[in-house]
């Protein structure tokens, strides 16, 4: 096999690995949100929803550790929030996985570029700007 074919095979393997990780993140987050939705329906199924008044979540669900703690006790809205967190975290995991795969290929230019992209993503969601 020539070097070009090996690079092509490596790129296809990398794309397949990333694709599987993205699919896993999507399926996992969907399942968690579905479980939270079922828990919510079981807990509050007979209570009508007032769509005229929008209310934010309680401060007990304002931080990730608090959300995880409540999700572990099967609080429906916390379980749904964990699912949404997993959905949002999936692209971050994709970029982080890309860094690892580029390191494995010793492609340091793309390691640097992808690391910069990850830092920008983290900065964008940190709220410190």
63: left (phi over 0), alpha (psi -120 to 50) or beta: beta
Does residue 49 belong to any structural domain of this protein?
Answer: no
Does residue 55 belong to any structural domain of this protein?
Answer: no
What's residue 1's pLDDT? 43
Q: Provide the percentage of residues in the chain whose pLDDT is more than 70.
A: 84
- Quote the Cα angle for 62-75-57, to 5°: 30
What's residue 54's pLDDT? 61
Does residue 53 belong to any structural domain of this protein?
Answer: no
Q: Residue 72's CB: how many other CB atoms inside 10 A?
A: 11
Structural domain containing residue 20 = 9-44+61-126
Does residue 23 belong to any structural domain of this protein?
Answer: yes
Does residue 118 belong to any structural domain of this protein?
Answer: yes
Does residue 87 belong to any structural domain of this protein?
Answer: yes
Q: How many domains does the chain have?
A: 1
Dist CA 116 CA 69 (whole Å): 32
Dist CA 118 CA 103 (whole Å): 15
Sequence-distant contacts of 47-55: CB under 8 A, at least 24 apart: none
Per-residue pLDDT tens listing for the chain (129 residues): 445 566 767 788 889 999 999 999 999 999 999 999 999 889 887 777 666 766 666 666 677 888 898 899 999 989 999 999 999 999 999 999 999 999 999 999 999 999 999 999 999 888 765
Specify the DSSP class assigned to residue 1: -
Does residue 52 belong to any structural domain of this protein?
Answer: no
Does residue 54 belong to any structural domain of this protein?
Answer: no
Q: Which residues contact 4 (CB under 8 A, 6 or more apart)?
A: none
């Amino acid at each position: 096999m020539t070097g070009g074919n090996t690079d092509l095979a490596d790129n296809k393997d990398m794309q397949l690995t990333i694709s599987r990780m993205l699919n896993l993140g999507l399926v996992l987050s969907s399942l968690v949100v579905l479980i939270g939705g079922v828990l919510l329906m079981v807990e509050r199924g007979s209570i009508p929803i007032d769509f005229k008044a929008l209310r934010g979540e309680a401060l007990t669900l304002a931080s990730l550790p608090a959300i995880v703690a409540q999700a572990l006790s099967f609080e429906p809205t916390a379980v749904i929030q964990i699912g949404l967190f997993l959905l949002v975290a999936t692209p971050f995991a994709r970029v982080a996985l890309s860094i690892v795969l580029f390191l494995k290929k010793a492609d340091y230019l793309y390691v640097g570029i992808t690391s910069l992209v990850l830092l920008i993503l983290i900065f964008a969601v940190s709220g410190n700007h």
